[in-house]
Every structure is written in structure tokens, then in C-alpha cells.
Amino acid sequence: MASTRQKKPEFLTSPESPFPDKYDILGEAAILDHLIQSDNPDPADPLFPRFVQYEERLRQLQAINAAKTAQPPTLDQQVSGIGSLETESEDLMTLHTRDAMRVFVGRPAGDGQRAIAGGRRVAASLRQLWGLSSNDNPYADWMLVQFDEQMQGVRQALTGAAEQTMRRLEDMRQKGLSYSVLKSAAPVSVNLGFVSPYGYAVATAVVEFDWLSRVVKSAQRRDVLSSSEAHDLLFETKRKCRSVFEPIVRAAGLLMREELRPLTRADFLSSDEAAMKRVAAVQGLFGMCPKDVFIGEKTPRHTRRSVRLNDAELRLLESVPFAEEGAGAEVAAGLIE
């Protein structure tokens, strides 16, 4: 169960702080200097959440100092003093089945068994790819596009299977047998707190699988489904989830390597030796990036990419060899083989 005890503040404090919670803005600035000095701070940096809070506190401090002066604040000062949006309460995911919890937490390697990536790890990998995408990495865009498309298919399969099973239960209701859907006597609530929207996409798939598991087990208990039918249905849907999860974890691990992390679209136009090595390496690992993704015609569902190439650079990109239409999915799916 999620703990309700108050956590220790995840920031430095100082008795001289002007903030009620004694937030040490100078101390935090020293720790976050590399993000403060960056023109494009990396959302994948472990300190990025503290950096977001630092910027918010800096705006608050500016507002405090402005209030001390005799001059009324300007409109620009009032606008900059508006804080970032925050949730009023914790984001929680409540699960009723062990099957769904296993899909979320995965399985570590051990006792002769290989590790299985769970939704929590996949959410972290997607956050890394989301950060690389903001730095104009075309292969991060490609992996996110693949995830968007494949996850949509998984969710449709989950919803369709649950609706079909519910119709069979409803048929029994019309014949005089009213059945309810099973629920846990002690469901588990997990605090999400994801930074990227992709983490919530994973959580949505997990709760939809949890609902399917409840519906299927309800049908099995009432003899609407046989034990083998229930097992095969849940096994197949878990396999579909993991078939999307595994390539994402693998791709993020490769693209976050020190040698590949600086990769951008500009590398494909550069004669710099290091850039050419990055291009050769990423094409060797993943194959050719699909043209529509590479030139920005097809983008991830969620992107923070701010780099825009000029017309001359776009014309040069048009001359870069690309994968044939439809080949991208085969390459991405083959990452785990």
C-alpha cells in the first residue's frame, strides 16, 4: 500500500532561507549548475525534477523581492510569477490482481531465468527516449513512434478481450444468473509520479490488463470460461504487453550509451569523424530510420523536440538513404532477437 507518511524534503535547506520550508536556493543552484547553464536541459537527467523545482522557486523569490519594492509589478513580472502546474494529490494506480502487478514490476534475473522488463522499467526507458527526442535524436523518435503504434494495438486487444468476455457474462445475466466482477479484498495502490506522459501510457495499459484479468477470472469461476481458456487468454495478452516492453528497454539502453547519446539529425549531414562514427554505429544497430520519421513528417505522440532544420538542411536530409516503407517495424521488432 502507498505510504501516507510525510517524506523528508528532497532539497537542501537553510535557516536563512526566505521560504517557509527553508528551501536553500543557493545550495540547490550549486548542485544543479550543469542544468542551469545548459541551453536545453536533459529531462532524462536524474536531477531534472529538482531543476524544475529550482526554476519555480526562483520565480517565487523574484516575486518576493518585487513585492518589497514600492513599484507595482509589471505585467511581465506578474506572468513570470505564475508557478508551474502541479497535481493536487498523488497519482495512484490501484491493482487487484497479481498478474497485473507482475506485468508492472517485471522479474529480475536469477535461478536460471532471464529478467523480464516490467512496466515500471519501461516507463523509465521511455523517459530516457523522450529526453533524447528533445535533443533531435531521430532514432529516439522512431522508437517512440513504434511504441505509440504498438501500444495502441495492445490496448485495443485488451479492451476487445475484456468486452467479449463481459458479453458472455451478460448473456448469463439475461438467462437469470447475475454475476459480479471479482475484486481484491486488499488491492494495492502504487504511487506513480511519472515525469513523462509515456509513463502514464504504460500505467493505463497495466490497469486495462488488470481489469481483463479480473473479468477473465470471474468468467472462469462461474464456468463461463474453462481453466485452459482463461490461462491462454491471459498468457497471450501478457505476451503482447512484453513484446512492446522489451524492445523499448533494449533501445533505450543502446541509445543512452556514451558513444550514441549525442546523436542528432545534424550528424547525418556532418563530415566530423565522431558524428560519422555515431551514424555508422546507430545504423548498424537499428538499420535505416524510416524516412517519414527522420525528416519529421511522422512524430511521436508526445515530443519535446524544438530543433527545426532550415530548407537547405531538409533538402540534404532528403538525400540520406532510408529504410523502405514498412521496414522500420521489422527492424525495431528485431531488437530483442
Q: What is the DSSP letter of 269?
A: G
d(CA 2, CA 229): 34
Looking at residue 24, its pLDDT comes to 86
DSSP lists the bridge partners of residue 23 as 13
Q: Which helix (H) or strand (E) holds 189?
A: strand 188-191
Q: Is the pTM of this model over 0.85?
A: no
Per-residue confidence in pLDDT tens, the chain, 337 aa:
444 454 555 788 888 888 888 888 888 888 888 888 887 788 778 888 888 888 888 888 887 776 666 566 666 666 666 766 666 667 889 999 999 999 998 888 777 788 888 898 999 999 999 999 988 999 999 999 999 999 999 999 999 999 999 999 999 888 998 888 999 999 999 888 888 899 999 999 999 999 999 999 999 999 999 999 999 999 999 999 999 999 999 999 999 999 999 999 888 888 889 999 999 999 999 998 998 888 888 889 988 776 666 665 566 666 665 544 443 344 333 333 3
d(CA 109, CA 106): 10
140, 129 Cβ separation under 8 angstroms: yes
Looking at residue 331, its pLDDT comes to 35
Looking at residue 74, its pLDDT comes to 66
Looking at residue 127, its pLDDT comes to 92
Domain boundaries, the chain: 1-75, 92-336
In the chain, the N- to C-terminal Cα span, in Å, equals: 37
